[in-house]
Chain A
């Protein structure tokens, strides 16, 4: 494998690809990289609740320490908690041992830069190159790093969130929230946060457990059946589910209806641009048009990026954006930090409900609805670029195509919707996304373009 880092860090099956020896080597490459610019780097190290967390954490720590980095072990934390600490306490880097929402046999290593954002591609590539060179710069015994533990990261993060929302306004409403942590690490901060915001909590799967006995840790509609049933049963204001490392949040309204990530993203975006009377927002090309609709309606603008939260975060920094996020429930609030943050998202939703004093279903009903159709098609990796170029050439002469966007893959705007084909970074496939106002039209567009591209793959 020549490429270790995927869209969200390094992932692999534990003791298959993701072994202690591998993690030790990554720790050493990481330390070697940091030592190039910092004399004595300080690294914060956290994990989610997976069964292999302790093993991989020890291995990464050994690697970092042996290259002369000080390691501060913050224990079990959500990813955004570690990111916040790295930024606030001015660490040189953070390492998060997590495989996010992946099945329990997986684990991974995610890199955090000194500003709390996820590693850039350049940093990841530099660390990979050092890993494969097999020549870590090991520190002499006199310069080996020191290992500390600190359990203040969760409290630091909670107080950060509390200072970013209107606490007294939220408290007055005495919300009742059903919290589904999916046995991830989210409960370690979210329970405390909700209590501090004066909420009554009905907890679901709030015991961190790396086997994920409650449900698969990806907060999809299929996985959140219990949450959807519980909310109306207990008469809660709404329900919220966090993924395994609690950087993403998905909501369920007071009737138990699942709210798509695009919709909650749009609701928060709408509220923020309204409050700030406009501003720049950032989201990947895969996000539903409903986001752009509500942002524009409130005087804001949207910048589209490639898929991947690090790109969204970095673009937000460059453009001084007021808000950003992904369609999967990963929302980014610049007033707190430039990373996806489920607990902050939850606090913001509470603030919106407290301000609007209307049920969540009503606020959601005001977000425009589109039909999204997703499919994929096989394409050999070496043909991907030429196929995309041919699609672009073909589309230039197509009167139905209003605009061609090459931000990530090829996105064609047509009357009443758009079609996006993105090459997968890991598999020999194209992912195809079609969105229109009308459901039947989405399927029709998908069929048309799939047929076109398949013809081009064969002949191209």
Chain B
């Protein structure tokens, strides 16, 4: 009775914040069985823990992956609480409530439906940092699993993640005014929680893609502005107070104001900070966030702390700094008065609470904020080259400019704007982000730093040089 698995597991599936791959190509039930064995071994040996809470998003390939993962974990003597198919927030909330040592969620976030993967969080909702994920990776690649004897096998229990989660929101949010909200779940995992909880809280919802649709046929699961046309129309047509769209698993929310304008995560974050948080403290923002965040929140008594890109850093820093707010420019927002983890559902509910309190339309709160033009460029660069190219840029730019931040890629702060150059963690590209006081400066900075990056790529690539 030899195990059936034989194909090698690609190292590439282990990313900085999670594990991801194409189903049946990079990842499979066999691979997830081993990841389960590794996660169980890690929890037992490194964390001296005993239990993992696991759930999965709506993706069609999630059930075999989740079950194989469970079999692996259980084989190492670590107990499983299985939440089944849920939104991200439901499983994370269950894990925190059950005091799990590790919380695992099977998802590929906003990626197309043929992708899948898994994310890990500690029992308090803080994401596992890269070095810990790599420790799990090494266990997988080296086949180092602490399998137990028959009498110590981990128990597998099913748990209801939905009721307590809903009760949490009905306890923590009360609305007197019947706000009207357009709700776009994109047919994805938030269909399991958001419509029911919004209704329970007395909000009037205009549903947009709120039926479960694991193939994401209605709109791509990434809530990018170009994918939100239906939501914007619904907000305008039904005169909603605001609209909200979620990503595939439910750790990112995008807000649309009453005029149909799509807010950036920075804008949403500033509004949450300005109007929704009484307890002042350190706000965690990543290096990609707009300079408007600092300009708007510092005068109110907040301290701003910049961190590298990645929601893992966001949750970790927020915990260490006892932060009341965390903003990731990619759309992850955390409000630790509720959860340390980046549950997307708290964002629209906090916005609703703010609107009820300030008695002004959301568009007016948005109008009060400065809007600096930004540009995001993707520069093609081979995976094996991209990190080196950015390293060389770091050296050069640090020597040339007075305000250079190298905690994640290289960010150059100038008087009239800033530039950030980072290698993508997931694709063979280098990302260039620019923000400036006006369009002329923006164009100028973009051209200037793009040319410098391309020059270094050429120098490093003899075939093209």
Question: B6–A20 contact, CB under 8 A?
Answer: no
Question: Contacting chain A: which of B62-70, B283-291, B311-319?
Answer: B62-70
B425–chain A nearest beta-carbon distance, Å:
23
Using Cβ atoms and an 8 Å threshold, which residues of chain A touch B67?
A: 58-59, 61-62, 65, 147
Query: Which residue from B4, B74, B155, B157 sits with its C-beta under 8 Å from A25?
Result: B4
Q: Say how far A177's CB is from chain B's closest CB, in angstroms.
A: 31
Chain A contacts for B158, CB-based, 8 A: 149
How far, in whole Å, are A423 and B310 apart by their CA atoms in the complex? 66
Does B3 sit within 8 A of A, measured CB to CB? yes
Task: Tell me if B151 and A62 are in contact (CB < 8 A).
Answer: no
- Given A134-B4, A140-B24: A54 touches B80 (CB 8 Å cut-off): yes
Residues of A within 8 A of B28 (CB): 66, 138
> Across the interface, do A55 and B74 meet the contact criterion of CB distance under 8 Å?
yes
Least Cβ distance of B60 to chain A in Å? 5
- Tell me if B1 is interfacial: C-beta within 8 Å of chain A: yes
Closest Cβ–Cβ distance, residue B132 to chain A (whole Å): 23
Contact status of A105 and B3, CB under 8 A, knowing A144-B60, A149-B158: no
What is the CA–CA distance of A142 and B61 in the complex, to the nearest angstrom?
A: 8
Q: For residues 1 through 49 of chain B, which have their beta carbon under 8 Å from a beta carbon of chain A?
A: 1-6, 23-24, 28-30, 32-33, 36-37
Contacts of B215 in A (CB 8 A): 142
- Residue of B5, B28, B37, B150 ringed by the most chain A CB atoms within 10 A: B150
- Given A62-B71, A66-B29, A141-B60, the answer on whether A22 and B151 have CB atoms closer than 8 Å is no
Q: Are A22 and B4 in contact (CB under 8 A)?
A: yes
Does the CB pair A138–B74 fall under 8 Å?
no
Tell yes or no: B233 within 8 A of A by CB.
Answer: no
- Could you say which of A7-15, A79-87, A181-189, A213-221 contacts chain B? A7-15
A51 to B30, CA, bound (A): 23
Could you tell me if B4 and A15 are in contact, using CB atoms closer than 8 angstroms? no
CB of B149 within 8 Å of the partner chain: yes
The majority secondary structure among interface residues of chain A is mixed
- The interface residues of chain A lying within 8 Å CB-to-CB of B3 are 19, 21-22, 25
Say yes or no: is B147 at the interface (Cβ < 8 Å to chain A). Answer: yes
Question: Which residues of the partner chain A approach B2 to less than 8 Å between Cβ atoms?
Answer: 22
Q: Are A51 and B4 in contact (CB under 8 A)?
A: no
Instruction: Determine the residue in chain B with the shortest Cβ distance to A18.
Output: B1
Contact partners of A107 in chain B: CB under 8 A: 150
Produce 1/0 per residue, A131-146, CB < 8 A to B. Answer: 1001010101110111
Q: What's the least CB distance linking B92 to chain A, in Å?
A: 21
| Chain B min CB distance to A365 (Å) | 44
Interface residues of B in 357-381 (CB under 8 A from A): none
Chain B residues with Cβ under 8 A from A298's Cβ? none
Interface 0/1 of B136-164, CB less than 8 Å to A? 00000000000111110111111000000
Interface residue A176 (Cβ < 8 Å from any Cβ of B): no
With CB as the reference atom, state the residue of chain A lying closest to B215.
A142
Specify which chain B residues have a CB less than 8 angstroms from the CB of A1 in the assembled complex. 1
Closest to B75 in A: A20
The answer on a CB contact under 8 Å between B1 and A15 is: no
Contacts known (A54-B74, A55-B74, A147-B67); A141 close to B4, Cβ less than 8 A? no
In Å, the complex CA distance between A56 and B71 comes to 7
- Assess the A52–B153 pair: CB atoms within 8 A: yes
Shortest CB-to-CB span from A217 to chain B, Å, is: 15
Interface size on B, residues (CB 8 A): 44
Q: Among B60, B63, B68, which residue has its beta carbon within 8 angstroms of that of A24?
A: B68
Inter-subunit contact B23/A141 (CB<8 Å): yes
B27 CB to closest chain A CB (Å) equals 10
With A15-B148, A19-B1: A54-B33 Cβ-Cβ less than 8 Å? no
Q: Once bound together, how far apart are the Cα atoms of A265 and B18, in whole Å? A: 59
Q: Separation in Å of the B147 CB from the closest CB of chain A?
A: 5
B348 at the interface (CB under 8 A from A): no
Chain A interface residue bracket vs B:
35 or more
- Would A51 and B151 be within 8 Å (CB), given that A19-B1, A140-B24 are in contact? yes
A316 to chain B, nearest CB (A): 32
Task: Output the residue of B1, B23, B64 with the most chain A CB within 10 A.
Answer: B64
- Closest-by-CB residue of B relative to A59 is B71
Q: What is the distance, in angstroms, from B28's C-beta to the closest C-beta of chain A?
A: 7
B30 to chain A, nearest CB (A): 7
Tell which of B24, B36, B75, B158 has the most Cβ of chain A within 10 Å: B75
Kindly list chain B residues whose C-beta atoms are within 8 Å of the C-beta of A51: 150-151, 153, 155
Chain A: minimal CB distance from B145 (Å): 10
Q: Would A146 and B150 be within 8 Å (CB), given that A19-B3, A56-B71, A62-B29 are in contact?
A: no
B60–A54 contact, CB under 8 A?
no
> Is there contact, CB below 8 Å, between B68 and A62?
yes
How many Å lie between the Cα of A55 and that of B147 in the bound state?
12
Tell me the minimal C-beta distance from B386 to chain A in angstroms: 29
Taking the closest CB of chain A, its distance from the CB of B81, in whole angstroms, is 11
Task: Return the CB mask of A11-49 against B: 1 if under 8 Å, else 0.
Answer: 011111111111111001000000000000000000000
Per-residue B-contact encoding for A334-360, CB less than 8 Å = 1, 0 else: 000000000000000000000000000
Complex CA–CA separation, A149 to B67 (angstroms): 13
Chain B neighbourhood of A52, CB < 8 A: 74, 150, 153
Q: In the complex, which residues of chain A have a beta carbon less than 8 angstroms from the beta carbon of B113?
A: 141
Chain B residues with CB under 8 Å of A149's CB are 158
Q: A141-B23, A144-B61 are in contact. Are A15 and B71 (CB under 8 A)?
A: no
User: Contacts A19-B75, A20-B75 given: A104-B151 contact, CB under 8 Å?
Assistant: yes
Whether, in the assembled complex, A4 has its beta carbon less than 8 Å from a beta carbon of chain B, the answer is: yes
Asked whether, in the complex, the Cβ of B4 is within 8 Å of the Cβ of A66, the reply is no
Q: Which residue of A lies closest to B3 (CB)?
A: A21
CB-based contact B64/A145 at 8 Å: yes
Given the complex, which residues of A lie within 8 Å of B298, measured CB to CB?
Answer: none
- Check if B1 sits within 8 Å of A57, measured CB to CB: no
**A52 (CB) vs chain B CBs: closest residue:** B153
CB distance from A2 to the nearest CB of B (A): 11
> Which residues from chain A contact B321 at a C-beta distance below 8 Å?
none
Q: Is B72 an interface residue (CB 8 A)?
A: yes
Residues 156 to 214 of chain A near chain B (Cβ within 8 Å): 211
Complex Cα gap A24–B36 (Å):
13
- State whether the Cβ of A63 lies closer than 8 Å to any Cβ in chain B: yes
Which of B24, B29, B149 contacts A15 (CB under 8 A)? B149
Q: How far is the CA of A139 from the CA of B42 in the complex (A)?
A: 31
Q: Which residues of A contact B65 (CB under 8 A)?
A: 62
Is A144 in contact with B64, judged by CB distance below 8 angstroms?
yes
Per the bound structure, the CA–CA distance linking A453 and B400 in Å amounts to 98
For the complex, give the distance between the alpha carbons of A57 and B147 in Å: 17
- Closest Cβ of chain A to B139, distance in Å, is 15
A249, chain B: closest CB distance, angstroms: 27
Q: Which residue of A is nearest B150, CB measured?
A: A14
7 closest residue pairs by CB, A with B: A54-B156, A25-B4, A21-B3, A59-B71, A14-B150, A62-B68, A55-B74
List 17 A-B residue pairs with CB atoms under 8 Å apart, sorted by A's residue number: A15-B75, A16-B150, A24-B33, A25-B4, A28-B29, A54-B70, A54-B156, A55-B70, A56-B71, A59-B67, A66-B28, A66-B29, A134-B6, A140-B24, A141-B116, A142-B60, A144-B64
Beyond the given pairs A16-B150, A54-B156, 10 more chain A to chain B contacts, judged by CB atoms under 8 angstroms and listed by A's residue number, are A14-B149, A15-B149, A51-B153, A51-B155, A53-B156, A104-B151, A105-B150, A107-B150, A142-B215, A149-B158
Q: Which A residues fall within an 8 A CB radius of B?
A: 1, 4, 12-25, 28, 51-59, 61-63, 65-66, 71, 104-107, 131, 134, 136, 138, 140-142, 144-147, 149, 211
